Amino acid sequence: MSETMRFDDRVVVITGAGAGLGRSHALEFARRGAKVVVNDLGGGGHGEGKGSEAADRVVAEIQAAGGEAVANYDSVENGEAIIRTAIDNYDRVEVVVNNAGILRDASFAKMTDSDWDLIYRVHALGAYRVTRAAWPIMLEQGYGRIVNTASAAGIYGNFGQANYAFVKRGLIGFSNTLAIEGARKGIKVNVIAPVAGSRLTETILPKDVLEALKPEFVTPLVVRLCAESSTESGSLFEVGAGWVAKLRWERSQGACFDPKAELTAEAIDAAWDRIGDFTGAQHPTTIQDTFGPVFGNLGITP
């Protein structure tokens, strides 16, 4: 198959690009002609320490392959400095991949305030700050591609990851809203929930599985979502090991009660099977899809 998705002269910012998924994204965007800002704080997997080696190593790899890249060592909490690196070196930014991440797993009973705060700061505040700094530039140029990195934990929940699940699900609502706000300005925003062998998964997956779950199986979807030709926006994908799938909401037809009469818990209990019956289910995609049945029950056309 011929390679149609090129990024020549495009500037791509990838956070947490010193290892794992981010490194794989950085190498592939650079191979396809992009000028890449390789951001990485270079600390440990639980948010401790920092260093320049991780980002430098990936920049060197890109340059050795004939590509163009510059390192940035800021924490994503300092998103403005990361975007400034793009502007100072390349004068523009077209693509942002919010990927940096750490884990602070603990059952909720044992989770400390610092476990909660650190996960919030890296995944939520970090994605916000980087995106917030790039957003006016994208609005002004009428073009942008953003991919945020969520997790199956955020979609489904996972034992020991209340902090992580909270922020990862938050990124989905964040992306959906930016997809709406960016629609008329050529900005496409999507979310992925990847599975890959990396420092973050090395303690929970067996070695042979880790080796098979190459980050390189996730990167092509990110590239596809960031391509100039892509019209996809506001979507969520699960991806890993060569499997790519799109998710959507499913809503039962629900039960309607007389809005002029008193509604009781017992009446809801009596309709419980109907409320949870997915026969003839709908697939809402906008907030207006919520107003439909709500106003419909009142006999009002919104």
Report, as residue numbers or ranges, the catalytic residues. 164
Alpha helices by DSSP H, listed for 120-218, are 126-141, 152-156, 162-182, 207-212
Residue with smaller CB distance to ligand NAD, 77 or 277: 77
Residue with smaller CB distance to ligand NAD, 5 or 210: 210
Count the Cβ atoms, other than its own, within 10 Å of residue 196.
Answer: 21
Residue with smaller CB distance to ligand NAD, 17 or 143: 17
Q: Minimum distance from CB of 245 to ligand NAD (Å)?
A: 14
Q: How far apart are CA 178 and CA 175, in angstroms?
A: 5
Q: Minimum distance from CB of 121 to ligand NAD (Å)?
A: 7
Cβ-proximal residue to ligand NAD, closest one: 20
- The token duo for 103 is 């884990």
Residue with smaller CB distance to ligand NAD, 176 or 219: 219
Specify whether the CB–CB gap between 43 and 50 falls below 8 A: yes
Q: Minimum distance from CB of 196 to ligand NAD (Å)?
A: 4
Q: Minimum distance from CB of 253 to ligand NAD (Å)?
A: 33
Order of strands across the sheet that contains 144-149: 68-72, 35-39, 11-14, 95-98, 144-149, 187-194, 236-240, 243-247
Q: Which residues bind ligand NAD (CB under 6 A)?
A: 15-16, 18-22, 39-43, 45, 54, 75-76, 99-102, 122, 126, 149, 151, 194-196, 198-201
Which parts of the chain are beta strand (E)?
11-14, 35-39, 68-72, 95-98, 144-149, 187-194, 236-240, 243-247
Burial group, residue 176, by CB count within 10 angstroms (0-12, 13-18, 19+):
buried
